[in-house]
Amino acid sequence: MTSPNTLATIRFGTGLRPEFPAASPEAMLAALSEPDQMVTAFPLDSYETRAAFRIEYTRLQRARNDSEEAEAAFRDIRDALNREVLNQMAVTLARGVADPHGLRERLVWFWADHFTTVGGRGFMRGAIAAYIDEQIRPHVAGRFGDMLEAAILHPVMVLYLDQERSYGPNSLTGQRRGASLNENLARELLELHTVGADGGYTQDDVRQMAELLTGLGVTRDGALAFRPNNAEPGAETVMGNSYGGDGQARLADIRAALHDLAIRPETAAHVSRKLADHFLSDTPDPGLVADMQAVWMETGGDLAAVTATLLTHPAAMTPGPGRVKQPLHFLASALRALEVPPEGVIRAPLHRLRNLAARPMAAMGQGWQNASGPDGYFDDDAEWIGPQTLAARIAWCMTVPSELRPQLPDPRAFARDALGDAAPPDLQLAAARAESRIEGVGLVLASPAFQRS
Amino acid sequence: MSRLTRRDLLLRASAIGCSAAASPLMTPVAFASAPTDNRLVVIILRGAMDGLDLVQPYGDPDFSGYRPDFAIGPAAGAQDLDGFFALHPGLGDLMPLWQAGELGFAHAVSTPYRNQRSHFDGQDLLEAGTGAETVGRSYEDGWLNRLVQTLPGATRETALAVGREEALILRGAAPSVAWSPASRLGLTPATADLLGMLYHDDPLFREAFEDAEFYSDLLHGAFDGGDMEDGEMMEAMADSISASNRSVTARSLASFAAERLREDARIASFSLGGWDTHRGQVNRMGGALRHLSSAISELRSGLGPDWDRTVVLAMTEFGRTVRQNGSAGTDHGTGSALVMAGGAIRGGRVVGDWPGLGQGDLFADRDLMPTRDVRAYAAWAMAGLFGTDRAALEGQIFPGLDLGPDPGLLR
């Protein structure tokens, strides 16, 4: 019989780790208001540092043909960039491995995916982890409106969704160059980040939102810019609310619109549903979603309260097959069960990070920082488990654990380490029958009980 | 990694102006090249190899009645060995070795493990080399490691563990080298069955796994990329499956072991799986034996002239039931067979006291009755190869073992 703590740690955290007791939903939620220890223990570069790196990178790239030394210097910095991207993956995994239960990491992964950015254009390159750490992470138990503002008003998002190329048709720049709007960010802001595709907005709302967002850009140093010369003059009306129009366009008008969107009932419904969907199932209990939505509206989008509603709702604690773990989640939980030390993940040589984590995750359908679009990774079990992607998961289970631990545990004991009282009888049987430790441990990790949460 | 040769050491010793033997600067590595000229290879057959199917007692009147669906004896394709035993065709390629006296078997052997029939406990005991009273304990070292401890002049290079997992058999105080080839998925049929069982009640996993069986090469470890149809997808899978892009096969394990045994290594161990033949044994046993066959062939060709100074022992944690089960397989049993190969052995024979298969002859009325401790054969092989004395064999390497009479394993 699966205990509530086991269930909560597997479903809402990063899984069991023998050294830690399974955590109750209440304990997991309480930890969210404690200082963020993982970001202190396993820090990453700030966006500022990454931006400075990017400037140096561009300088060396331009100079690479000047001399052999310049070519070598460029190669060095390119290698450093590739190392850094893998390091970001290692740190992300290490935090998931080290935390006593991992709820905060799961929430960071969810919200980072909600505000997905992908790619290496300009200042984005090498900076996505910093964007997540600085814009998303501090707000996972804060206000959705603050997270929305932090994510949208950041150079990485501005670049990703082409906002720096959007000009008010009647702005000074628009008039001078005949430049016009790019609706990309405005549309995704409504469709993906806030009210949702069925949130009742019209094409006119998208256009108004796009006009409101004009002026956003990125400085030569990689900082967020607001350029009134690019901004469409006059007021914009988005979903019934009017912004600006009294004098020069201001960043404050955009902020006001974002905070209004954050507490709309459509946003509360769309994002609550997505959150429940991510952690529970394609068809989350309607009562649960309604409760989350109500709390969202009562608290003005307080994500700690909304998350607490999710974790403590009876419908969230139904035992049985849960969501298929996304590959990042699966790897982190497997490393926990295998008691891989987080420091070992951080210190792993690049080829091991590449071969034991990055490539396998890509083969499982989740390339590192490589979602296919701004809608991020899908929350659809069937999309994650196909013949090839399941083969990739099985392959990892059967080959990688022995690379990580010279002495694998007895599979019968490992089933208990990995799943505690959630280990189903057939899994205990299979673990006991496996031909060898490698295969027994592999079977435990490849089993639906472990692959699902 | 560069290796010191004897010549290097002599040159170095003369350069520092003293004899190698007397120099406190010289570590035992100075003598690494030869604590002995003889070689021992131990292959662990993980999953409980059916000795009765490998070396079939077709001359025993009771045998075929237990296994109506099995292919038994020369009439069914096995190679006659001595008029009583026949060799499974899966090892048929090794018949020239048998004829040359370089392949032999000991039948009705087992470790002291009895009655519980757990692979892990059984394999641990096989590798620890200890008595039944230690079952379930956490072991510090294995018997090959304790052998190395008795070899004068042994170094880190003397013993070699080849494979993905640190082998208990070589774990212990004596340092040894472990080499792990980049691995590629090779699900054994038994493991695929167990996965199938785990996925049975989860339609999403079950259907994906059934479809994945389409990629049977992938799941059965023969992923050479020769017939790639969907290049990119297969490449992605191959990437996920291997740490680099080399495949681990029985041959590659043996090839690496042979290479090192030609150099400073004298003792090597690796594992072969696929023996847990609970169903469809006719096909599965053949597949597993072909891996064993190619490993032994590779050792022979790779060792070249050193084959004559080599003993290969392939042993398993326990045998399988005498009776076939309901799915044309066999379940966990007790007595099995030991495979011996190498130019140093006196092969061409099946040794051991045959316990018979009649009423009352079986262990627990189900398994082949072991008539000798498999450790005794290993011990006599070590005594012959390395001059290991009885006190070390019975006290240190295999504590509590009664060596018994000398079976005369070596030439």
Contact A438, A398 (CB under 8 A): yes
ipTM for the whole complex: 0.91
Q: Would the CB atoms of B240 and A364 count as touching at under 8 Å?
A: yes
User: How many Å apart are CA A53 and CA B296, to the nearest integer?
Assistant: 56
Mutate which of A399, A437, A441 to test chain B, going by most B C-beta atoms within 10 A? A399
- State pLDDT tens for residues A79-110: 999 999 999 999 999 999 999 999 999 999 99
Question: What are the residues facing B367 on neighbouring strands?
Answer: B321, B363
| Domains (range + CATH), chain B | 1-31 (no CATH), 37-181+248-397 (3.40.720), 189-241 (no CATH)
> What is the chain A residue with the closest CA to B116?
A432
pLDDT at A7 over 70: yes
Task: Categorise residue A408: left if φ over 0, alpha if ψ from -120 to 50, beta otherwise.
Answer: beta
Q: Would the CB atoms of B273 and A436 count as touching at under 8 Å?
A: yes
pLDDT at B27 over 50: no
Residues 125-184 in A contacting B (C-alpha not used; CB under 8 Å): none
CA distance A388 to chain B (A): 7
Contacts for A78 with CB less than 8 Å, ≥ 6 apart: A57
Of A402, A426, A432, the CB nearest to B118: A432
Return the minimum-mean-pLDDT range out of A305-309, B1-5, B179-183, B345-349.
B1-5
Q: Would the CB atoms of B204 and A382 count as touching at under 8 Å?
A: yes
CA distance B183 to chain A (A): 6
Residues 370-429 in A contacting B (C-alpha not used; CB under 8 Å): 381-382, 385-392, 394-396, 398-399, 402-403, 406-408, 410-412, 426-427, 429
- State pLDDT tens for residues A212-255: 999 999 999 999 999 999 999 999 999 999 999 888 889 999 99
The percent of residues in chain B predicted with pLDDT above 70, rounded, is 81
> Mean pLDDT of all residues in chain A?
95
User: How many Å apart are CA A93 and CA B342, to the nearest integer?
Assistant: 48
Please state the domain extents for chain A.
1-126+319-453, 159-262
CA distance A359 to chain B (A): 6
What is the average pLDDT across B64-92? Answer: 97
pLDDT band at B250 (very low <50, low <70, confident <90, very high): confident
pLDDT band at B256 (very low <50, low <70, confident <90, very high): confident
User: How many Å apart are CA B47 and CA B128, to the nearest integer?
Assistant: 17
pLDDT band at B32 (very low <50, low <70, confident <90, very high): very low
Contact B295, B25 (CB under 8 A): no
pLDDT band at A437 (very low <50, low <70, confident <90, very high): very high
Contact B74, B86 (CB under 8 A): yes
User: How many Å apart are CA B344 and CA B410, to the nearest integer?
Assistant: 6
Q: Would the CB atoms of A446 and B195 count as touching at under 8 Å?
A: yes
How many interface pairs between A and B have CB atoms less than 8 angstroms apart? Answer: 153
pLDDT at A159 over 60: yes
Q: Residue B178: its pLDDT value, please?
A: 73
CA distance A441 to chain B (A): 11
CA distance A225 to chain B (A): 41
- State pLDDT tens for residues A22-60: 999 999 999 999 999 999 999 999 999 999 999 999 999
pLDDT at A320 over 70: yes
> What is the chain B residue with the closest CA to A428?
B198
In angstroms, the Cα distances linking B152 to B7, B104, B158 are 20, 29, 11
- Sole residue written with tokens 């545990």: A409
pLDDT at A275 over 90: yes
CA dihedral B274, B280, B284, B286 (to 10 degrees): 150
User: How many Å apart are CA A214 and CA B115, to the nearest integer?
Assistant: 78
* Residue B91 tokens, joined: 């090892």
